[in-house]
Amino acid sequence: MAHRLQLRLLTWDVKDTLLRLRHPVGVEYATKARAHGLEVEATALGQAFKQAYKAQSQSFPNYGLGHGLTSRQWWLDLVQQTFHQAGVRDAQAVAPIAEQLYKDFSSPSTWQVLEGAEATLRGCRKRGLKLAVVSNFDRRLEDILEGVGLREHFDFVLTSEAAGWPKPDPRIFHEALHLAQVEPAVGAHIGDSYQRDYKGARAVGMHSFLVAGPEPLDPAVKDSVPQEHFLPSLSHLLPALDYLEGSPARL
């Protein structure tokens, strides 16, 4: 008789899986700049942020922990670089804007719970599953989740800052499995990044589901993900779990 899988742990990405920003980054930056007497186009700031974020992440990965930085300083530096690339050369003028942005992005009012997230988390809890967060986020995440009313659903929150390794590093997934005291084969991860979430979890022997994110999915990526592993929305997760657990145990 074929062995049937019974999951014990679900780990979750957060940004663009459970939460999203209420407004685009460029709009948030432009609004705060305007409040400090500085006029910069939101579009220019949005483009500059993408470039600065990529460069900062490559030079100082995982909030610069290996380079003696705090995550707060990492973000303040990133804001400075963003405005500099958008044409603002006055670092003193940007400093209070950076402080305000760091504070505001810590606030639950800046974030929006995605449709279906709470109902799906409650449904997972009713199945007796352990739930945990595994996110490339900084120390502010606990307070954000508390503020939006989602923290109570999770047994623990593991950020890349706390773990010391960002996804898709296998060590952060192994740490989550250790904390939950479960084997990889009875764990599954849900997230919107093909590399960091879907492939990262599967590389350590977990199951995984890819949630449709804000950006269109590359056709080649979508073709490589089995249909039963792809979630057009979070409301599709519980049926996907039923399918997974109703099939012979497999990865």
Contact 45, 25 (CB under 8 A): yes
Ranges of beta strands (E only) in the chain are 9-12, 19-21, 111-113, 130-135, 156-159, 187-191, 207-211, 230-231
pLDDT at 251 over 60: no
pLDDT tops 80 at residue 135: yes
Q: Does residue 14 share a domain with residue 28? A: no
Q: Residue 201's closest CA among 162, 155, 154, 168? A: 168
- What is the pLDDT at residue 1? 41
- Of 110, 139, 157, the position where a domain reaches its end is 110
Residue 222's pLDDT is: 81
Structurally, how many domains does the chain consist of? Answer: 2
Between the CA of residue 52 and those of 23, 119, 141, 159, what are the distances in Å? 19, 36, 22, 22
Is 251 inside any structural domain?
no
Domain assignment present for 37 = yes
Query: Domain boundary residue among 58, 90, 110?
Result: 110
Please tell me whether residues 89 and 210 are part of one structural domain.
no
- Domain of residue 141 covers 9-18+114-246
pLDDT of residue 100: 98
With 80 as the cut, is the pLDDT of residue 61 above it?
A: yes
What is the chain's mean pLDDT, rounded?
95
The pLDDT of 54-77, averaged and rounded, is 98
Instruction: State whether 153 and 32 are in the same domain.
Output: no
In a domain, 2, yes or no: no
Does 179 map to a domain? yes
Residue 1 in domain:
no
pLDDT confidence tier of residue 249, bands split at 50, 70 and 90: very low
CATH code: domain of residue 161: 3.40.50.1000
**Does one domain contain both 49 and 133?**
no
Please give the average per-residue pLDDT across 55-81, as a whole number.
Answer: 98
103 and 173 in a common domain: no
What is residue 214's predicted lDDT score, i.e. its pLDDT?
Answer: 77
CA 84/CA 49 separation, integer angstroms: 10
Q: Which of 144, 147, 146, 150 is nearest to 125 (CA)?
A: 150
Instruction: Summarize the confidence of residues 31-47 as an average pLDDT.
Output: 98
Lowest mean pLDDT among 101-110, 185-194, 210-219, 242-251: 242-251
SS3 content of the chain, % helix, strand, coil (to 5): 55, 15, 30
pLDDT for 3 equals 61
